[in-house]
Amino acid sequence: MSNDTSPGGAVLRVASANFDHGGIDPGTGDDFRWHKTIDTLAAWSPHVVLCQEITARPGTGPKEHLWATANALDMMPLLAPPGPVSVTGNHPAILVDTRSGLLILDEGPAAYPAGAGPAPAWCEALLEIPGLPHPLRVYSVHLPARSAVDQLSQAQRIASRIAQNGEISVAGGDWNNFPRADAGMLTSAVLEAMPPHLRLPRMRRQADGTWGPNFDVHDALTAIGLTDLAASLPPGHREPSALTATGINGGARVDRIYGTEGISNAAGRYEQLDTGGSDHHALLITLDIPAIARIVPREAAR
């Protein structure tokens, strides 16, 4: 692991990046936006990247594009099936820096049987990390953009899975929904000014007829003990110091990273950056390895 300066020594850097249709122009195939996201991630030197919207270059498949992304960062890639309501073949994926000693013990989700309902909206990996006595499971999440019902269903499924497994876990990505810590910036005026297609999945009508924020996804995650890591940090440990919107449509942080019980005590720094390559900002959370090592996972439930 890296020996970057941190309160406890070795750190684990976990990034999240929505590539916006792979960072590829659908008409020309130009990849200049992809390069911008890659440049940002390379500068951060993450150990894990939670990727959303990995798709195919014209004339190729998503695996080829994911391998190009992984090779550019010198990381190992894991690809999940496309999102359950994706019409463009956007996949969640995970990149792992195995050069730093991380070992991939498992990946998922498993192939979902046809006719069994919507497939999971995430990619996951179980990692062995130097300095940790227990594995860490990470999830790259991309919830459906068009339906609050579908979002809540997926959020409940992943929350229940995390709770049942009892594993030390980090889950991040594009939740397409709002967190309670950002309630102060989600005034009726701000919500009214957002594009109408975002109202049904991210808002609900209030008694006075104005729009109010929908926190159902966040509430499902925190109900089983997950913590919004950026919000858990004091302003001096965040860049920017204030909690700010992560997408071009404003509003609030639809992209977030959560951790199971104790992970917030290991969080040392949060960074959020507009890469210029996507309609979403990239995120980076720095976690203290010795602090994570002190967390005792719960026994898995039946």
Beta carbons of 278 and 18 less than 8 angstroms apart: yes
How far is Cα 132 from Cα 274, in angstroms, rounded to an integer?
32
Beta carbons of 124 and 138 less than 8 angstroms apart: yes
How far is Cα 202 from Cα 251, in angstroms, rounded to an integer?
10
Upstream peptide bond of 62 is cis (omega within 30 degrees of 0): no
Q: Residue 87: which pLDDT band, with cuts at 50, 70 and 90?
A: low
Res 112 pLDDT > 90: no
Please give the single-letter amino acid code of residue 284: L
Q: Where are the beta strands (DSSP E) in 155-297?
A: 168-174, 203-205, 211-213, 227-228, 238-239, 255-259, 267-273, 282-288
DSSP per residue over 9-77, as a string?
A: S-EEEEEEEE-TGGG--TTT---HHHHHHHHHHHHH--SEEEEEEE-PPTTS-HHHHHHHHHHHHT-EE
pLDDT value at position 181?
98
Helices 32-44 & 62-73 angle (0-180, nearest 10)? 40
pLDDT value at position 242?
97
Q: Which residues pair with 239 in a beta bridge?
A: 271
Res 4 pLDDT > 60: no
Q: Which residue has the higher pLDDT, 141 or 55?
A: 141
The mean pLDDT of 87-100, rounded to a whole number, is: 88
Beta carbons of 96 and 125 less than 8 angstroms apart: yes
Q: Residue 223: which pLDDT band, with cuts at 50, 70 and 90?
A: very high
**Taking the domains of the chain in order of start, what are their residue ranges?**
11-293
pLDDT in tens, 231-286: 999 999 999 999 999 999 889 999 999 999 999 999 999 999 999 999 999 999 99
What is the pairing mode between strands 168-174 and 136-142? parallel
User: Which pTM was predicted?
Assistant: 0.95
Q: What's the CATH class of domain 11-293?
A: alpha beta
Separation of first and last alpha carbons in the chain: 34
Please give the single-letter amino acid code of residue 73: L
pLDDT value at position 26?
80
In Å, how far are 58, 100, 128, 155 from 215, measured between CA atoms? 37, 37, 33, 11
* Tally of CB atoms within 10 A around 86: 18
The mean pLDDT of 25-53, rounded to a whole number, is: 94
Average pLDDT, the chain: 92
pLDDT in tens, 122-155: 999 999 999 999 999 999 999 999 999 999 999 9
Q: Residue 57: which pLDDT band, with cuts at 50, 70 and 90?
A: confident
